[in-house]
Amino acid sequence: MTAALIELQEVGFAWPGQPELLDLPSLRLDRGQSLFLKGPSGSGKTTLLGLLGGVQLPGRGQVLLLGQNLTALGQGARDRFRVDHTGYIFQQFNLLPFLSVRENVSLPCQFSSLRKARALERYGSVEQAAHTLLERLGLSNELWGRRADALSIGQQQRVAAARSLIGQPELVIADEPTSALDSDAREAFLRLLFEECRAADAGLLFVSHDQSLATLFDRAESLIELNRAARAPEA
């Protein structure tokens, strides 16, 4: 069997002085698969995403991405590995407000030569890659030069989506990515998200409260059901 895109093995995590928040016997996502993960507030969703990005390290167990054990890497190497291979759509967007829309979308290609090379190969330039993604998300070119903090919430969310997809990362993680979008924008966003993941044979981990979206994905899981710590009886 080929190495999984994501593989968690007996992962446990607790914040200092706190009971164990995550106790995950296993979680696997293969290249090209899409996974809908229902993660209500307090379920450990944010912590799990931090573990997958190497921002946090587990107290025990292994977190593997593309076969690489993230716990075996130093902080700098984990940061480089994350930007090379993972595109994030953060719930709070995490755009740089003083940069333009175009500059925010292109940012991963400044930090990752791998993603820059992929953008150049597919589109001819990083700028054209950014423009294509923004157009497909319905953001008109008159907005591309504006500062990110001059946009509406829904527009910022689409900029964050374009930034996550540029350079075809192998894994796309989306944290409540449709919460600020109206129905038309949500449809366009989801269509682009699935198309770009298919084009790159990328895995998609989509975390949301919106259970109505679950049927669009290859698999649907509940973090509470996966997490033995959440199922443990109260002392």
> For residue 203, what pLDDT is reported?
94
Q: In what order do the strands lie in the sheet with 68-69?
A: 22-29, 6-13, 60-65, 68-69
Query: What is the rounded distance in angstroms from the CA atom of residue 65 to the CA atom of residue 79?
Result: 13
Q: What is the pTM of this model?
A: 0.89
pLDDT in tens, 7-44: 999 999 999 999 999 999 999 999 999 999 998 777 88
Q: In this structure, are residues 222 and 27 in contact, taking their beta carbons and an 8 Å threshold?
A: no
Residue 30's nearest CA partner among 62, 65, 58 is: 65
pLDDT in tens, 87-134: 998 877 889 999 999 999 999 999 999 999 999 999 999 999 999 999
Query: What is the rounded distance in angstroms from the CA atom of residue 133 to the CA atom of residue 197?
Result: 13
Per-residue DSSP letter, 30: -
20: which residues sit within 8 A by CB, 6+ positions away? 12, 13, 14, 59, 229
Domains with residue ranges and CATH for the chain: 6-231 (3.40.50.300)
Q: Which residues pair with 23 in a beta bridge?
A: 12
> Residue 46 — φ and ψ, nearest 5°?
-60, -40
